[in-house]
């Protein structure tokens, strides 16, 4: 059973898929950092100073006791985090689409490539065969 698992784990497709997951996760982290650190702050002045990453709606405010300590946390919808995640998803999905499209185009180009020319000996043998067929 251990041998079968080792053969399964060492197949090229599984390793390629694992590398793809790691690279995809790293790429998603970079895109998220870009969205939150560069894109949304640049977008804020264009939208009249609204910082989308900090956009929140409080449904139920926090309850405080007489000393000012929080007794019950506020119920908050963090819309900015959701918007940031949606933008990150769209960028990652688009890049993955472009990568897969490029790979498919490469596969089509390989499939459309003409087969290599046969060796000279085979060409000569075919010519001899054709000449013999004509004489018969």
Taking the alpha carbons at both ends of the chain, their separation in whole angstroms is 63
Is the pLDDT assigned to residue 12 strictly greater than 70?
no
| Cα 60 to Cα 71: distance, rounded to the nearest angstrom | 13
Q: DSSP states of the chain as a string?
A: -HHHHHHHHTSHHHHHHHHHHHHHHHHHHHHHHHIIIIIHHHHHHHTTS--GGG--EEEEPPEE-TTS-EEE--EEE-HHHHHHHHHHHHHHHHHHHHHHHHHHHHHHHHHHSPPPPPPHHHHHHHHHHHHHHHH-
Q: Is the whole model's pTM more than 0.75, yes or no?
A: no
Q: Mean pLDDT lowest for which of 4-13, 17-26, 84-93, 110-119?
A: 4-13
| Cα 54 to Cα 30: distance, rounded to the nearest angstrom | 20
What are the structure tokens assigned to 96, written together?
């993955």
The average pLDDT across 24-31 equals 86
| The Cα angle at residue 97 between residues 94 and 102, in degrees rounded to 5 | 130
Q: What is the mean pLDDT of the chain?
A: 83
| Cα 116 to Cα 28: distance, rounded to the nearest angstrom | 42
């Amino acid at each position: 059973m251990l041998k079968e698992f080792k053969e399964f784990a060492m197949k090229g497709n599984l390793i390629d898929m694992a590398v793809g997951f790691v690279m995809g996760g790293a790429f998603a982290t970079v895109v998220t950092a870009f969205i939150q650190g560069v894109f949304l702050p640049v977008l804020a002045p264009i939208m009249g100073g609204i910082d989308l990453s900090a956009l929140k709606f409080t449904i139920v405010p926090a309850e405080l006791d007489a000393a000012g300590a929080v007794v019950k946390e506020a119920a908050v919808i963090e819309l900015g985090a959701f918007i940031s995640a949606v933008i990150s998803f769209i960028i990652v999905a688009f890049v993955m689409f472009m990568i897969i499209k490029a790979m498919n185009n490469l596969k089509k180009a390989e499939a459309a490539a003409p087969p290599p020319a046969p060796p000279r000996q085979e060409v000569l043998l075919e010519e001899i065969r054709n000449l013999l067929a004509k004489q018969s």
